[in-house]
Amino acid sequence: MKFRSDPSQIKGSIAPLMTPFTADGAVDHAGLANLVNWQLASGTHGISLGGSTGEPSSQSIRERAAAIRTAAEAIGDRVPFMPGTGSAKLDETLKLTSAARDAGVDAALIITPYYARPTQEALYVWYKTVAEEFPDLPIVAYNVPSRTAVDIAPETIARLYHDFDNFVGVKETTKDFEHFSRVLHLCGKELLVWSGIELLCLPLLALGGVGLISATSNIAPVAHVELYNAWVAGDLDRAREIHYGLHPLVDLLFVETNPAPGKWVLEQRGLIASGFVRPPLITPTDAGLVTMRRFLAAGEQYLSPVDGFTIDGFSKAGA
């Protein structure tokens, strides 16, 4: 809640955490708190939870709310906390956003309602309803058309931004770079925009983005912090060096459906007890593991140290 009154502080590398599960599929709250503490020790500028990387659609609203409370307690206002609280159902979105507000989050990340393919006017009404229900909570749209089958238009973002004081930004997980540009052109530099596409994090900063919400920061948080800090310092050579250096780890995460490969890395490195993913996802196949190990070796220098945060004090061989 410390940053709720000034959402412009939600900038830099915001890690969208993977939700750890036990080997039998329950939410691993101790593992989640460990990931939060490791991220903050790595210098991460903020925490998100419950985006696509967090497997929200496989969890109940009760489970998601409990995970938000666990993360909020672990964060303890040390950095901004912006969890995903959206669903395809409006009542669930309002219920989870209310729980997140009560847990002390700094902003709510609301995904566009998926599967139904609403019109732009319907999207406007959806976000209007949420913004009016929580006037004191910063609301951020989460645009990820590859998963939702709907793309919130720059003009719709601009309407919401100009009509509601607490509609403050958008996480753009689209590879349409023109879309980024039109959003910022229509809204101006005060709109908060984060890239959710790993290899567009650095380019979006050049257009006026305030930060990055990259799945790869789950396994390489220090590198993402350094990339952002290099950009801010004007060290473009260093920022580009990290950007290109991270390519193998980005490719690793998407060998099979995210977050299964990333959870495998976290388990191998001893940061979580199990790499379990809930159906319909499965853990990596043998063929996938061969490719993942190749990418892991190529990007190994960008993995972050895990000393002091491994389960039982060790990591497994091969990672």
Residues 212-261: pLDDT tens digits? Answer: 999 999 999 999 999 999 999 999 999 999 999 999 999 999 999 999 99
Q: Which residues contact 289 (CB under 8 A, 6 or more apart)?
A: 264
Q: How far apart are CA 67 and CA 137, in angstroms?
A: 19
Q: For residues 279-312, b (16+ Cβ closer than 10 Å) or e, as one string?
A: eeeebbeeebbebbbebbeebeebbbebeebbbe
What's the distance, Cα to Cα, between the start and end of the chain in Å? 36
Beta strands per DSSP E along the chain: 12-17, 46-49, 108-111, 139-143, 167-172, 192-195, 211-212
Q: Is 93 a known ligand-binding residue?
A: no
User: Domain ranges in the chain?
Assistant: 7-244
Joined tokens for residue 217: 């920061």
Residues forming beta bridges with residue 13, ordered by sequence position: 212
Cis peptide before 259 (omega within 30 of 0): yes
How many whole angstroms from its chain centre is CA 305? 21
Q: Report in angstroms the alpha-carbon separations of 130 from 72, 147, 241.
A: 21, 21, 40
Whole-number pLDDT of residue 318: 44
Joined tokens for residue 163: 């009509």
Joined tokens for residue 238: 């260093």
Put simply, whether the predicted model's pTM sits higher than 0.85 gets the answer yes
Q: How far apart are CA 115 and CA 213, in angstroms?
A: 23
Q: Are strands 108-111 and 46-49 parallel, antiparallel or unpaired?
A: unpaired
The one-character DSSP state at 114 is: P
Interhelix angle 29-41/61-75, nearest 10 degrees: 40
Q: How far apart are CA 74 and CA 8, in angstroms?
A: 22
Whole-number pLDDT of residue 314: 47
Whole-number pLDDT of residue 317: 42
The answer to whether 235 and 205 have CB atoms below 8 angstroms apart is: no
What is the set of active-site residues? 142, 171
Task: Look up tokens 């990259």; give the residue.
Answer: 214
Report residues of the chain scoring pLDDT below 50.
314-315, 317-318
Q: Are strands 211-212 and 12-17 parallel, antiparallel or unpaired?
A: parallel
Q: How far apart are CA 219 and CA 263, in angstroms?
A: 9
Q: How far apart are CA 86 and CA 100, in angstroms?
A: 11
Domain 7-244 part of CATH 3.20.20.70: yes
Q: Is 119 a known ligand-binding residue?
A: no
Q: How far apart are CA 20 and CA 286, in angstroms?
A: 21
Please provide the size of the chain in residues: 319
